[in-house]
Structure 1
Amino acid sequence: MHSISFDIRKFLISRVGIRFFSIILTILLSLVVAGTLTEFCVGSKTHRRSEFINAFISRNSDSDLYSGIVTNGTTNNGISNMSSSTPNGGINKPGGHINGGFEMRDVGHSASRHDPRHRVSGSASHGLKILGSDEDPVHRRSSSTVNADGEASHQSEVKSKLPNGDYTDDLPSFYPFRKSVTGRNWLAGPYSRLEERDDPMRRHEKPQDETAHLSKWQRLLLAFSLPHNAGKILSVKAVPGSIGCLHGIRVLSMGWVILGHVIIFGAATNFKNRADIYSQIETLLFQVIINAPLSVDTFFFMSGLLTAYLFLKECGKTEKVTLKQGIMYYVHRYWRLTPPLLIWMMIVATLVQYVGEGRPGWSDYASAQPCRDSWWVNMLYIQNLYIEKSGCMGETWYLANDMQFYMLAPLVMIPWVYKQRILGHIMAALLLSIHLASNAWLVYEYNFDILRNNEGGDYSNKLYFRPWARVGPFAIGLVVGYILYKTKCKVHLNKYVVALGWILAIGIMFTVTLITYDENKDLTSDPSGWPVAGKTVYEMLSRPMWAVMLGWIVIACATGYGGFINSILSWEGFLPLSRLTYCAYLIHLTIIGYEFIGAESTYLYTVTNLIYRFFGFYVMSYAVAFLLAVGVEAPMLGLEKVLLSR
């Protein structure tokens, strides 16, 4: 009877599961087609233009490019650097004076990289005026005004165009230094401070909803529009309220994840000269690859930072947490993560096994059975606790940890909202203490080492996947998010403190990533490695110290002390890739596995070959991620916006 029941269950899983996935896929494709037709029929043409055409116009216009951008100037001498075709008398040349022409005048708002809605108005005797982002970016309008002498004059209004494609007075994100713009002065330099009103915390103002004139059903369909979603994903326009450097950190960390997995898969399955890889482990530079797991701690840190920053930003205004906010806090997170995970898991459970059919070992690696048996474990985000049932998409252990940390975060953040600062700090310290204590005990008890045979247990299952051993960076991220919120990203530090902060951060970064060279330099001759005490200290402190280093980088970049590092991390080209990182994480192991598992030929490990394959996997992961994002993730977020009205 039991065998009959099992056969029926297997039949239902195989047949009904595939049919159910086919139905879901058909519905999604139908909605995408309907949404795309809605976009072209009744959708917002303004949106499509702002994302595609406007970016082209702003980069190819011969006039007014960079208008409104003043570099290394102050209101005392009127120095400006503009490439507008307006009369010379209206614009000061370097070394000019305010009385000679263009004068920046504070109108109660600041123009900064933080708030594209803020404007700076310039006035001069010739009536030149730089406008914000609400006017027509292509055409000029004429109107009458009264100049300083009380006489009527002709005024030309020019729309500001920036090199990042935005028609706004927002400073482009790739500018080498942060500049604050007020009526008092312009600051430029590697450690320039933000002015009082250059405040990223004021960027909560919602942009104008271009679909407000549409019916609810039309907006629901528009959420599935390919042009609409592709425009949002590929746009290089930062979302108001975002911290620019996080985009670069996120994209670079994803590259580190892929690089580490390329080495792991290649060494385990497909590199013919594995002995050369083991010899490389003894080199200093290879420690960067060995410590690639720190990239996951980077994601935990950023998750904690954004969780606290956005939660406090929303609830801090009223200094209370309503029931609706509490419910939506959890609903949004589950809605954000689950649809892409569910669809990709269904693909893994039904289709992936047939892609590499016939390749030796592929049927075992891409077996659909684990996902058919334990899909519910992934849906509940408990695969890091239910290890024996976590065979479906093993990389999702990270999502389980992240979800569990997110569920616990209000224990830290709610006291902060209600001005119980000490209690919130104690709760954050408690989470960090759990991390330190669990790592210390587990490593000391089992002599764990990430590279060597472990005595008495599996390093991954008992330590690496477990939430209590990984919560430290998330807790530090919560504290950093709280600092950014409380200081409104305006931290005034002298140059010595800034220099010391960067020296310590760089020192921590190199120490954490390279100190393992001391343990691995004699791996073949002395496989025992560090003594237990050394391993314990490293496992206990390495991840929290890494998060502290990241905390300084984010605070420095967000408050104007980031210099060229902030310019690199905030580069606008990172934005589209940053939006695709979650889907790329879900997908990348399947792509790497397909190349290495069961391949007909083996590969020779060389640095050149490693770089070649790394970039190939990186590009392929993000290319497939784009399809998953534009077809699933973006539509689901659009539905949330329409249905739940966050």
Structure 2
Amino acid sequence: MNLNKFFCGIFLIFLKMISVNCGYINMSIYYKFPPLHEYDYYERCFYENPSKLSTYCMTDIQVIPNNQSELWRNIEEFNEDNLRHFRHDKMFYGICIEWCENMLKDLSGSEREQLYNGLLPNKKLVDYNDDLYFKEDENRKKYNKIVNQCLNFKFQKQYNLSVTSYIKYCDTNKDKIEFDNLDIAFIIITIILFSLNGLSTLYDLHLKRKRPVHLQTNQYYKEPIKNIRQHVLLAFSVCRNYFRLTKLTYDSTSYNKELRFADCFKFVMMLAVITTHVAQLQISCGFQNTEYIEKFLHQPDKNILINGTGLMQSFFEISGFLIMINFHENISKLKGYKIRSIPLFFKMLFFRYIRLTPLLAYGVFFNSTIFLKLGRGPLWRFAAEREKVFCRRNWWITLFYLQNYVDVEKTCMPQSWYISVDLQAYIVCSFIMILCYKHPHRANLILGTSIFIATIMAAIPELAFDLSGLYFHHAEYFRHFAYFNVDFKKIYVPLHMNLVGHLCGLLTGKVFLYFKSINFKMSDSKLRIFVFYAIIPLTFALILTQEFYYQYKVPSILAALHGSLYRITYGLLFMYFVIGLADKIGWMAVEFCNLSVFRILGRLTYSVLVIQVSILFFMFAEIRTLQYQTDFRLLIYVLGYVVFIYAVAFFITIILELPITALMKVLIGSQKPPKNEVLENENELNQLNSSNKNGDIVL
């Protein structure tokens, strides 16, 4: 106990040491910069004269360089730190056209012409806007010039600077909500879904009422279903799926109970993902004190929260770890049966695909149809219209799990890149696990060689394209959901850059199983306990090495070497930490990680991953005024959003995700294996497909 307290104290001291501000911002100069976001009063613009046509346009702006201006020189100098600072010569404003016309009404024609400085020179952003908001050509022809004149009238008067601009989109007070065939189809499918849930629940209740009175308890919903017909009819029963979701018992023949801390891992990592997305979406939509995020990026301890390399490595490694454990458990049940590798491989992939796709497809359908119609505000189309356009255009990229490689800048449901990586890695991991099973004496060589090849594959793009060794957020790219960030497309989302994590997870599972077979206990040695506690500050120190990329221009050879060593070191630290937790090292942390509530929260991970960004769009893209951000407000936002997102995920899981897994079990269970062939009953292949008996996906 004293050793536990000692290391907890050391860890707290370590956190205090890294909580330093590694940069300085001269606020007296900073507050003279034009604000990055500014929105005219949206509703007031429309309803001051409701009988007249009123137009409100969102506009990209760029300041024209002027070396004679001290303010411009200060902006230019501040922009030099292009990793931690926003481009303060680029703005995003909401302009009420009627107010704009009133501003210019006293100027002569020649004076107005002098104010016009042309369109935005950023061709990539202009082309992106033209492609996304392709119906706005008429508004751009009509209002681009007057908007630019109004902006220059303001900027020349307040800042002695001139700007170029380009309209992104315009709203009017005469806009009407119209439904097309796809919208109607989505509504019909949703009605059918709710009807299935209602009818299945009523049928389940009917069967319950037919039992003797003393047996009409909730225990009925926990009893196994006896035949395929009832499996199908009761698949959508809300009551039965509720008890499936909240079931806390464990299979005594599996490692589930011993590894239940993995559910806590998934929840904590998803909490960090939501925190990152909250910060990113709020930056994209704007807030008053933009210096908050710039100071944030100057502080290493806070930087960890929004730079996701270590976070995503943890996700991938816990996924690989659980895939290995599930595979081993079910292969052990196949003794006495001849394993045919190729059929087994493709059946595993088939069930994995149908396990993932229905919920994702429903999310794509929602975002491409009525999502845009559910909100309104100056920023709503900025968030929601890209989902509608890109989901209708690139739905096939998402549903075939290619969005981490194909058309990344115009992907539908941008957060779903992780699901693509997970499925692609599952294909690779399944092949490797089957190969190891068929050649057990060469299993270590196969796995070690796979990790080495994956490490080299991750290093090659870093050398070839002169990229950073690790992905880290640039302040400016936050404003565009990282779509224009080359590192995001080439380092963060591709499978070959993340495969090391999954393979290290497989290695962790293999070492864990070996230790179990020889009854090896890490907790028997104080030295091993010491190393376990040392892993926590070592991991933080490893993550903090990304600060070098903020401070220095790292040569590509060193960046590639650092990225490779980082991934391998993180994998080894993760392996030791997981095996230590499984061996009950960790004092109160073990008890906390094993709390029953995480069993339920862990099962919601996939639903949360699919729906979270759409919900956050509702939170941030409907704002009318800019808010002032602080650490405490960010904490309150995150906690509130987490509660709401998980509540919605709880509902979605019961009405859609669990019914699909129930039907999938019927499909699996209906295939009765003859002896000496591949065993593919409900328990085995459902687990081989990386889902446990309760249907929660390994993510």
The partner residue of 1:632 within 656, 661, 665 is: 656
Secondary structure of 1:255's counterpart equals helix
Residue by residue, what CA displacement relative to the aligned partner does 1:261-299 show, whole Å, maximum 9, x if unpaired?
112222232221111221222123213213334222222
Provide closer, same or farther for how the CA distance between residues 271 and 542 of structure 1 changes in structure 2, counting only shifts above 3 A. farther
1:225 Cα deviation after fit: 0.8
- 2:450 maps to 1:450: no
Question: Contact conserved, 2:289 with 2:628, CA < 8 A, in 1?
Answer: yes
The partner residue of 1:468 within 496, 499, 506 is: 496
- 2:518 maps to 1:499: no
Alignment of 1:555-634 (within 5 A): 555-634=579-658
- 2:382 maps to 1:364: yes
Question: Contact conserved, 2:309 with 2:472, CA < 8 A, in 1?
Answer: no
Question: Contact conserved, 1:340 with 1:632, CA < 8 A, in 2?
Answer: yes
1:613 Cα deviation after fit: 0.6
Q: Which sections of structure 1, spanning at least 5 residues, go unmatched?
A: 1-5, 8-12, 53-208, 521-525
Question: Contact conserved, 2:447 with 2:507, CA < 8 A, in 1?
Answer: no
**Counterpart residue number, 1:185:** none
Provide closer, same or farther for how the CA distance between residues 380 and 447 of structure 1 changes in structure 2, counting only shifts above 3 A. closer
Instruction: Find the aligned partners of 2:409 and 2:485 in 1 and give their Cα distance.
Output: 18
**Counterpart residue number, 1:110:** none
Instruction: Find the aligned partners of 1:478 and 1:51 in 2 and give their Cα distance.
Output: 39
Secondary structure of 2:405's counterpart equals coil
Instruction: Find the aligned partners of 1:279 and 1:643 in 2 and give their Cα distance.
Output: 54
Provide closer, same or farther for how the CA distance between residues 603 and 389 of structure 1 changes in structure 2, counting only shifts above 3 A. closer
Name the amino acid aligned to 2:307. Answer: N
Residue by residue, what CA displacement relative to the aligned partner does 1:483-529 show, whole Å, maximum 9, x if unpaired?
33344474234313422430442243221233344554xxxxx6x45
Instruction: Find the aligned partners of 1:595 and 1:389 in 2 and give their Cα distance.
Output: 23
Question: Contact conserved, 1:377 with 1:390, CA < 8 A, in 2?
Answer: no
Question: Contact conserved, 1:224 with 1:635, CA < 8 A, in 2?
Answer: yes
Provide closer, same or farther for how the CA distance between residues 598 and 529 of structure 1 changes in structure 2, counting only shifts above 3 A. farther
Q: Which moved more, 1:247-256 or 1:486-495?
A: 486-495
1:349 Cα deviation after fit: 1.1
The alignment-based identity, stated in percent, is 22
Q: Which sections of structure 2, spanning at least 5 residues, go unmatched?
A: 1-133, 136-177, 478-483, 670-681, 683-699
Secondary structure of 1:42's counterpart equals helix
1:566 Cα deviation after fit: 2.1
Provide closer, same or farther for how the CA distance between residues 24 and 308 of structure 1 changes in structure 2, counting only shifts above 3 A. same
1:404 Cα deviation after fit: 0.7
Name the amino acid aligned to 2:368. Answer: A
- 2:415 maps to 1:395: yes
**Counterpart residue number, 1:258:** 274
Question: Contact conserved, 1:411 with 1:427, CA < 8 A, in 2?
Answer: no
**Counterpart residue number, 1:49:** 218
- 2:508 maps to 1:480: yes
Question: Contact conserved, 1:313 with 1:485, CA < 8 A, in 2?
Answer: no
Secondary structure of 1:409's counterpart equals helix
Name the amino acid aligned to 1:496. Answer: K
Secondary structure of 1:31's counterpart equals helix
Provide closer, same or farther for how the CA distance between residues 364 and 274 of structure 1 changes in structure 2, counting only shifts above 3 A. closer
Name the amino acid aligned to 2:359. Answer: P
The partner residue of 1:544 within 568, 586, 592 is: 568
Instruction: Find the aligned partners of 2:453 and 2:217 in 1 and give their Cα distance.
Output: 50
Question: Contact conserved, 1:385 with 1:466, CA < 8 A, in 2?
Answer: yes
**Counterpart residue number, 1:205:** none
Instruction: Find the aligned partners of 2:216 and 2:508 in 1 and give their Cα distance.
Output: 35
Question: Contact conserved, 1:51 with 1:235, CA < 8 A, in 2?
Answer: no
Instruction: Find the aligned partners of 1:519 and 1:254 in 2 and give their Cα distance.
Output: 26
The partner residue of 1:34 within 178, 183, 199 is: 199
Number of aligned pairs? 471
Instruction: Find the aligned partners of 2:367 and 2:577 in 1 and give their Cα distance.
Output: 38
**Counterpart residue number, 1:233:** 245
Name the amino acid aligned to 1:219. Answer: H
Higher helix fraction: Structure 1 or Structure 2?
A: 2
Question: Contact conserved, 1:321 with 1:417, CA < 8 A, in 2?
Answer: no
**Counterpart residue number, 2:223:** 210
Secondary structure of 1:446's counterpart equals coil
1:244 Cα deviation after fit: 0.7
Instruction: Find the aligned partners of 1:362 and 1:239 in 2 and give their Cα distance.
Output: 47
Name the amino acid aligned to 2:525. Answer: K
Instruction: Find the aligned partners of 2:560 and 2:654 in 1 and give their Cα distance.
Output: 44
Alignment of 1:316-465 (within 5 A): 316-318=332-334, 321-322=339-340, 325-357=344-376, 359-367=377-385, 368-388=388-408, 390-423=410-443, 425-439=445-459, 441-442=461-462, 445-448=465-468, 450-452=472-474, 458-465=486-493
Under a length normalisation based on structure 1, what TM-score does the superposition of the two structures give? 0.67
Provide closer, same or farther for how the CA distance between residues 225 and 417 of structure 1 changes in structure 2, counting only shifts above 3 A. same
Instruction: Find the aligned partners of 2:288 and 2:553 in 1 and give their Cα distance.
Output: 26
1:26 Cα deviation after fit: 2.4
Alignment of 1:1-150 (within 5 A): 15-43=180-208, 49-50=218-219
Provide closer, same or farther for how the CA distance between residues 429 and 360 of structure 1 changes in structure 2, counting only shifts above 3 A. farther
Secondary structure of 1:366's counterpart equals helix
Name the amino acid aligned to 1:355. Answer: L
Q: Which moved more, 1:434-443 or 1:19-28?
A: 434-443
Residue by residue, what CA displacement relative to the aligned partner does 1:146-168 show, whole Å, maximum 9, x if unpaired?
xxxxxxxxxxxxxxxxxxxxxxx
Alignment of 1:188-227 (within 5 A): 210-213=223-226, 215-227=227-239
Instruction: Find the aligned partners of 2:439 and 2:549 in 1 and give their Cα distance.
Output: 46
Question: Contact conserved, 1:443 with 1:532, CA < 8 A, in 2?
Answer: yes
Instruction: Find the aligned partners of 2:205 and 2:193 in 1 and give their Cα distance.
Output: 18
Instruction: Find the aligned partners of 1:321 and 1:424 in 2 and give their Cα distance.
Output: 21
Residue by residue, what CA displacement relative to the aligned partner does 1:334-359 show, whole Å, maximum 9, x if unpaired?
122111111111111112111113x1
Which structure carries more relative contact order (alpha carbon 8 Å, separation 6+)? 2
1:389 Cα deviation after fit: 7.5
Q: Which moved more, 1:230-239 or 1:580-589?
A: 230-239
Instruction: Find the aligned partners of 1:589 and 1:47 in 2 and give their Cα distance.
Output: 41
Instruction: Find the aligned partners of 1:286 and 1:469 in 2 and give their Cα distance.
Output: 25
Instruction: Find the aligned partners of 1:239 and 1:586 in 2 and give their Cα distance.
Output: 28
Provide closer, same or farther for how the CA distance between residues 14 and 588 of structure 1 changes in structure 2, counting only shifts above 3 A. same
Instruction: Find the aligned partners of 1:483 and 1:581 in 2 and give their Cα distance.
Output: 26
1:413 Cα deviation after fit: 0.7
Instruction: Find the aligned partners of 1:514 and 1:43 in 2 and give their Cα distance.
Output: 57
Provide closer, same or farther for how the CA distance between residues 257 and 558 of structure 1 changes in structure 2, counting only shifts above 3 A. same
Question: Contact conserved, 1:508 with 1:545, CA < 8 A, in 2?
Answer: no
Instruction: Find the aligned partners of 1:43 and 1:338 in 2 and give their Cα distance.
Output: 32
Under a length normalisation based on structure 2, what TM-score does the superposition of the two structures give? 0.62
- 2:531 maps to 1:512: no
